[in-house]
């Protein structure tokens, strides 16, 4: 039988990391370094740990500040060695008792077990985030074409943070997570081992104002996921609404895709909202197909 700790703002990071790393080895996610801070989605907020026979068996993180729509958002992970022993349902019940009305909880990979727990607790599917994938080696990606007055360059740390965040806020004012990104959070990402300014493309107008960006990311190989190869990601593409039209978003996307292919990455992935039909149409034309689905459950 699982035993839950008390909710805390200061978890035992080693125990949390043990659960997350075991899940990563089994599922390919979440991506967690062997040392250092936990990923950004597990920082701050409240934490709850489950144990079985004294060992870390499950972990629940609750972002109490919430997304930009006001929903508190939870991440729930069960250690593979302790699945199907009631750990997930115990943590989920604790979440429903603690979280504010309207909370959301992620199920990465749309696992049937998560759907069963959600059904028991009366939680429905409130959001779908699709993972799309394309083989990069033989993709027919043309040279980016920019309209007159625009040019591409790469991100300069210490110089471009505020300009990027300003564009990001305008481009993603509708998005639950991305639109709330801050300058400090961007700088924190720059300190991550994966950050590479050479893969962070900015579009400038003739006044040297940033009007769009494409931030790429490279994931290390994870056994059992994406064939065990490193994979590139179209991490964020943002275009200032005042500059939309004329194909700037496509040009930025192509610049990043060609960069990732030049690095020798066999596959590229991206995340897109399941109801974003225009974006899905663009990515399908670039060769992307659906690979996985992440689901948010809520009431």
Does 212 count as an annotated binding residue?
Answer: no
* Residue 98 near residue 62, CB atoms below 8 Å: yes
Residue 32 labelled as part of a binding site: no
87 annotated among ligand-binding-site residues? no
Whether 248 has a binding-site annotation, put simply, is: yes
User: Do the annotations mark residue 86 as ligand-binding?
Assistant: no
233 is in an annotated binding site: yes
Q: Is 113 within 8 Å of 77 (Cβ atoms)?
A: no
Q: Which of the 8 DSSP states describes residue 44?
A: S
Q: Is 129 annotated as a binding residue?
A: no
Cα dihedral sign, 270-274-278-280: positive
Q: Is 246 annotated as a binding residue?
A: yes
Does 244 carry a binding-site annotation? Answer: yes
Residue 123 is labelled as binding a ligand: no
Nearest to 217 by CA among 162, 260, 277: 260
Please tell me the distance from the alpha carbon of residue 270 to that of residue 134, in angstroms, as a whole number: 9
| Residue 66 annotated as binding site | no
158 is in an annotated binding site: no
Contact (Cβ atoms closer than 8 angstroms) between residue 73 and residue 63: yes
- The count of other CB atoms within 10 Å of the CB of residue 88 is 24
Whether residue 285 is annotated as binding a ligand: the answer is no
What is the distance between the alpha carbons of residues 55 and 14, in angstroms, rounded to a whole number? 12
Question: How many Å apart are CA 118 and CA 124, to the nearest integer?
Answer: 7
Was 54 annotated as part of a binding site? no
177 annotated among ligand-binding-site residues: yes
Q: Which residues are annotated as a binding site?
A: 76-78, 177, 217, 233, 237-239, 244-250, 271
Q: Which residues are annotated as a binding site for acetyl-CoA?
A: 76-78, 237-239, 244-250
């Amino acid at each position: 039988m699982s035993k839950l700790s008390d909710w805390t703002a200061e978890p035992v990071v080693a125990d949390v990391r043990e659960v997350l790393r075991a899940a990563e080895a089994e599922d390919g996610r979440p991506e967690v370094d062997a040392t250092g801070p936990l990923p950004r989605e597990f920082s701050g907020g409240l934490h709850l740990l489950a144990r079985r026979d004294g060992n870390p068996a499950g972990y629940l993180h609750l972002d109490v500040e919430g997304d930009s729509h006001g929903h508190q958002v939870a991440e729930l992970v069960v250690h593979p060695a302790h699945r199907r022993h009631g750990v997930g349902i115990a943590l989920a019940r604790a979440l429903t008792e603690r979280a504010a009305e309207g909370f959301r909880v992620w199920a990465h990979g749309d696992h049937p077990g998560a759907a069963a727990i959600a059904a028991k607790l009366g939680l429905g599917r409130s959001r779908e985030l699709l993972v799309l994938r394309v083989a990069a080696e033989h993709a027919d990606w043309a040279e980016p074409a920019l309209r007159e007055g625009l040019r591409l360059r790469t991100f300069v740390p210490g110089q471009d943070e505020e300009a990027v965040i300003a564009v990001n806020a305008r481009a993603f004012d509708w998005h639950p997570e991305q639109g709330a990104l801050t300058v400090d959070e961007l700088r924190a990402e720059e300190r991550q081992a994966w950050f590479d300014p050479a893969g962070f493309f900015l579009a400038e107008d003739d006044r040297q104002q940033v009007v769009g960006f494409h931030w790429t990311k490279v994931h290390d190989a994870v056994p059992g996921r994406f064939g065990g190869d490193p994979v590139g990601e179209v991490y964020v593409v943002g275009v200032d609404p005042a500059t939309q039209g004329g194909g700037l978003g496509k040009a930025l996307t192509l610049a990043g895709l060609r960069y990732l292919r030049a690095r020798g990455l066999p596959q590229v992935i991206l995340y897109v909202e399941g109801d974003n039909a225009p974006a899905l149409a663009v990515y399908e034309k670039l060769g992307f197909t659906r690979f996985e689905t992440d689901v948010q459950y809520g009431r």
